[in-house]
Each structure stands twice: as C-alpha cells, then as structure tokens.
Amino acid sequence: MSGMASDHLSGGFQNKELEEQGAIKADKVRLSRQDYIQRAAVLLAVLFLFVALILPLGTMPIKSLQNAEGDFIGLANFASYISNPALFQSVLNSLQIALISTGVVLTLAFLFAYGLTRTCMPGKKTLRALTLLPLFAPSLLPAISLIYLLGNQGIFKEVLMGASVYGPIGIVIGMCFWVFPHVLMIMVTALSNSDARLYEAAQVMKASPLRTFFTVTLPSAKYGLISAGFVAFTLVITDFGVPKVIGGDFKVLATDIYKQVVGQQNFQMGAVVSVILLLPAVFSFAADRLVQKKQVAMLSARAVPYIPKPNPVKDNLFLAICLLVVSAILLVIGTAAYASFVSFWPYNMELSLQHYDFESVGSSWDYYFNSIEMAVWVALIGTGIVFFNAYLVEKGRAFEPVRNLLHLMAMIPMAVPGMVLGLAYIFFFNQPDNPLNFIYATMAILVLNSVVHFYTVCHLTSVTALKQIDGEFESVSASLKIPFYVTFWRITLPVSLPAVLEISVYLFVNAMTTVSAVIFIYSSDTMLASISVLNMDEAGNTASAAGMGVLILLTCLTVKGLHWLLSQQILGLTQGWRNR
C-alpha cells in the first residue's frame, strides 16, 4: 500500500508549459463500420434536402434574372415589375391585408387564449377542440362559406351595409378563420408559461389587476405574442386560397404568381413575384427564430404554474367572447357543409346529394382518392424521412458540422411559401436535362413537394421528442456493442411513437388540405381534391366546391379521430411502460 504513493503520476504544475502546445490539432480517431454507416446516412439526408429543396429554390432567383429565352438580363424583370403600377399595387395590397388580418387575429386569439389559460370558464376543452376545425379544411373552405354568408346572395349580406365581400373585407375575414387556430396554439403556450409566484408577489405588493396585467402577464407572454404575430403575418401573406376565391379584383402577391404562371405563362415574372414573396417570409422567419431563442431563457425550471381562481364576472365575460368566436367558426364551417347539400341556393333550399356528383360538373371522385393516396404517401414517407433525419441530427455521433448543416437545411422550408416551392419545382424538375425529370407530372413529385413543404414543423416536433430521451442511450449501446440502427429501431422509435404518430397525422392533414404547395405541379392524372375545390369554384360550381371541401374536412377529422383512438387504445397496450 505504501508503495502506491510512488506510482502516482501527477500531471500537475510542472507541465504548465505544455498547455500552449495543446492547441495543436486533435488526433484523428479511427472510424468504425457504424460510423461509416451513420455518416453515409447523414450525407444521404443532406443530399435529399439539397436536391429536393436547395437546388429547386436556387432556380428561382436565376429565372427571375432571365428573359423568356433564358438569356441573362439582370434586374430588368424587377424593374418592369416595379414600374408596372398594376403589379406593384399587389405588394401594397398584400402588406395591407397581412397587417390588418394579423392585428385582428392576434386580438381575438389573445382574448381566447386568456380565457382558456387564466379564467375558470367552463367547457375549456370543448371550446379549444372546436377552434381547431379550420385546420382540417383547405383555406378555400372558409372563403367559399363567406360567399354564402355575405356574398351577393348571402344570408347576412346586410351586415356589410352595401360593401362587397369580394375584396379586402372577404380576404381579411377568411384569413382570420384560417389563421386563428395556428395563432391560438402559440398564444395558449405563451400564456401557460407563467409563474404563479410572480402573481403572488404582485398581489402581496397590492398591485391592481390592471397593473398586474401590464407588468406580469404581458411581459411573460411577450415573446409568444411576437412569435404569433410573425406566424400570422407569414401565413396571410403567402396564402393563396382565400384571395383566389373571395378576392375579386383585389390583387395580392400570391394570386399574382398564379396569374403570371397559369394565366399568362410568364414564368419569369412569376419568379420575380416569388422572390418578392420570399422576402417577408424569410424576414419574419428569421425574426421569429431570434425571438424564440430568447424565450427559452425566460422560464425557470422552478416556476410554479399559475392556477386561475374563480371570478364570475371575468369567467362569464371570457366565456361569452370564446362562445362568440367558436360560434363564428361553427357557422362558417356549418354553412359550407349545409350549402353543399342545398339543391340550388337560395332559390331551392331542398336538401340533396346532387352536388356530390362531382362528375356532373366536370370534376371527379377520383380526385378525392388521388388526394388520399397522396396524403398517405406523404404521411408514410415523410414521417420516416423526417424522423430518421431528426434522429441523425439529434443523436448522431461526431460529424458535427454536417449534422448542423442538416439541421439548418431542415429549418428552411418554413420560410418558403408553398407556391414559391411549387414554382421552383417546375423550374427544376421540368428541365429536360435533369436526370430527375421523370418524376415530373407524377404522384411522386407531389409527394416530394409536400414532404419538403411541411418538413420544418415535423423536424422540430421530432427534435423536441428526441431531446426528451436520455442522451446516454447511444453511449450505452456503443458500450454494449449494439449498432446504433438497432437501438434506433428497438428503443428510440418505440419510445417516440406518440410524436411519430402526431407527425404522420400532421403530414396527412396538410397534404390533404394544401392548395398552394401543389397548384403548379399536379397533372391531369394526379388532380387533387383541394385543387378541384378551386377549379369548381372558379367554374361557378360553388356548391360542389363546398362539398369537396367538406369531404376533405371530414376525411381529416376521421384520421384525427383514428389517431386519437390509436393513442388511447394501442398506445395504452404497447406503451405499458409509461404507467407506473
């Protein structure tokens, strides 16, 4: 034992001078077969996003600098765009619509979220669930419904006092319905993140309720509010469905792209408008990321959640507000559903199924099944790709620069409006010399486009779920000499099953309802339900359009219901380990 004193080798003070030498570059650790497999997977993921996102997007600025013959003409397209007052007016229109809609939605959503989180009003869960309804239908549906409610032959047409719903009024109202659930989700999260101790402190210091609101409630929800504002602004400025249906002659950027490309076959000008449309989206995206980073530091882990106390006046007031909002949503959705069954609005109000005979108005039930087929593929393929890629980003070993690059690329789709991505896909995949040209005008390009378009939210959901899993699972597997893909399959995936299911439902619903992402790239063989809503509406078959819209809504609700059942039943069986 005493001999041990001599064999201690202290790396202590005598080696101080070696510290400087330590800055020399690190030894290269040998790579195992697993490392190679994993790195190949990461590179494959990067390649996927490079081909399906970066390269197509890259064609956009190039096209915008070319003339119809493909010659480089500098900023001439932009110059002619700005000098054309008819076109430039759309920029102002879009901004105007976006600002007004954002203002209205933020106010309503804040009141609603406040009611849900800070009062003791009854029926919170039901109210909350009902607000989600607009998420399950294309944005076209509320717009169509507004035509029935406030249009030339609308039931409540007098409310507008002679003003026409076709134009900014209709767009703003339609947008509000469609954007509301998105904003509400963020608001509820923001207002839930509150520390009860702050309220106790304010009470002890005898601050008035109003003062408490401005000094405690608002500041703690500040970042959520800002984030919600950016989301609303981006959604409104990039949405295509609402202005298309109810915009009338009022032009916005999103409809301009459509007109330039589909109407006038002027792809260059379409590219110019796309680049312009990218700017606000990219800006608000960047600002949102910045704000969300700050949000993280706001709430300490030791915060005590706020539990509201009953207050009859306040509770009833907010219940009234929330009921009003929910009634409006139900009215809009209900009107569309009702109108689809009415024989000939408003002259023959008898109910019939004639509008669901889509073949009679030049549409087809096939389109509906096309949509389902696409949505299933998007859900299956998208969930697999996104979740595995997120796993590589979050749980991969070493190779950090490339994994970070993958994460960065995964964030881009959120900033790209669906129409812009769709147009980029035309430019990229329609080139005859592109080896991937064969997927053009097939179901594959629709699936690919949708997966990429909705990539970011799924990626973030996956990353959040993966972060909750113990970070040492990979280390343990390595020490037990079990390859990472076995652990992914046996442990990570089963443990993350709830998140995986959620992602697949999200992808299904969005693939089912999206218009803007696929409007440029469907073909006659791959016509989709959501597009046919647009086309039928354009052709004047509004009731059939509403019918198809309702069909989409019902399908999404069914899938959501199945998801709910699945999480209740099957998860209960297979995830028995979750119960203590």
Partner 1 sequence: MMAQPQQPITSAFTPLVKRNNAPYLQVNKVWKHYGNFAALKDVSLEIKDGEFVCFLGPSGCGKTTLLRAIAGLDPQSRGEIVQGGQTISLLPPEQRDFGIVFQSYALFPNLTVAKNIAYGLRSLKLSRNQIEAKVTELLNTIGLSDMAYKYPAQLSGGQQQRIALARALATEPSLLLLDEPLSALDARVRLHLRQEIRKLQRKLGITTIMVTHDQEEALAMADRIVVMNHGIVEQVGTPEEVYRRPINAFVANFVGTMNLLPVKVSGNKQVRLQERLINCRRYKKQQTAAAWLAFRPEVAAIKPAGLHGDDKHYEYFNGTVLHTEFMGNFLRIEVNLSDFQQSVQVDVSSQHTDLTLCMAGHQVSLAVPVNELQVFDRYDNSAATGDAGHSAVATDEVAA
Q: For binding to partner 1 (CB under 8 A), which residues are involved? A: 1, 4-5, 7-13, 15, 18-19, 22-24, 26-32, 34-35, 470, 472-473, 475-483, 486, 490-491, 494-495, 575-580
Whole-angstrom distance, CA of residue 384 vs CA of residue 379: 8
Whole-angstrom distance, CA of residue 301 vs CA of residue 353: 56
Smaller CB distance to partner 1: residue 308 or 498?
A: 498
Nearest-CA neighbor of 544 among 349, 366, 353?
Answer: 353
Query: Could you tell me which residues are beta bridge partners of residue 403?
Result: none
What are the phi and psi torsion angles at 387 (to 5°)? -70, -40
DSSP three-state, residue 441? coil
**Distance in Å, CB of 8 to partner 1, minimum:** 3
Nearest-CA neighbor of 462 among 510, 489, 497?
Answer: 497
**Distance in Å, CB of 53 to partner 1, minimum:** 31
Smaller CB distance to partner 1: residue 301 or 307?
A: 301
**Distance in Å, CB of 33 to partner 1, minimum:** 9
DSSP for 171-220 reads HHHHHHHHHHHHHHHHHHHHHHS-BHHHHHHHHHTT--HHHHIIIIIHHH
Smaller CB distance to partner 1: residue 370 or 487?
A: 487
DSSP three-state, residue 72? strand
**Distance in Å, CB of 479 to partner 1, minimum:** 5
Answer whether the bond into residue 346 is a cis peptide, omega within 30°. Answer: yes
Nearest-CA neighbor of 410 among 455, 344, 357?
Answer: 455
**Distance in Å, CB of 236 to partner 1, minimum:** 42
Give me 523's structure tokens: 């073909």
**Distance in Å, CB of 38 to partner 1, minimum:** 11
**For 569, which DSSP code?**
T
Smaller CB distance to partner 1: residue 175 or 500?
A: 500
**Distance in Å, CB of 7 to partner 1, minimum:** 6
Smaller CB distance to partner 1: residue 304 or 398?
A: 398
How many residues appear in the chain?
Answer: 580
**Distance in Å, CB of 504 to partner 1, minimum:** 19
Where in 9-134 does DSSP place strands (E)?
A: none
**For 162, which DSSP code?**
T
Secondary structure percentages of the chain, helix, strand, coil, to 5: 75, 0, 25
DSSP three-state, residue 97? helix
Give ∠ CA 70-516-268 in degrees, rounded to 5. Answer: 15
Whole-angstrom distance, CA of residue 348 vs CA of residue 343: 6
Residue with tokens 């990219």: 282
Distant-in-sequence, close-in-space partners of 237: CB < 8 Å, separation ≥ 6 = 94, 95, 97, 98, 252, 253, 254, 277, 280, 281
**Distance in Å, CB of 477 to partner 1, minimum:** 8
Smaller CB distance to partner 1: residue 35 or 373?
A: 35
Half-sphere exposure of 350 toward its Cβ, with a 13 Å CA cutoff?
A: 5
Smaller CB distance to partner 1: residue 41 or 439?
A: 41
Smaller CB distance to partner 1: residue 11 or 432?
A: 11
Q: What do you get for the CA distance between the two ends of the chain, in Å?
A: 48
Give me 572's structure tokens: 């209960």
Smaller CB distance to partner 1: residue 74 or 576?
A: 576
Smaller CB distance to partner 1: residue 524 or 579?
A: 579
Positive or negative, the CA dihedral 224, 230, 236, 239 is negative
**Distance in Å, CB of 484 to partner 1, minimum:** 9
**Distance in Å, CB of 489 to partner 1, minimum:** 12
**Distance in Å, CB of 150 to partner 1, minimum:** 53
Smaller CB distance to partner 1: residue 156 or 473?
A: 473
Smaller CB distance to partner 1: residue 337 or 491?
A: 491
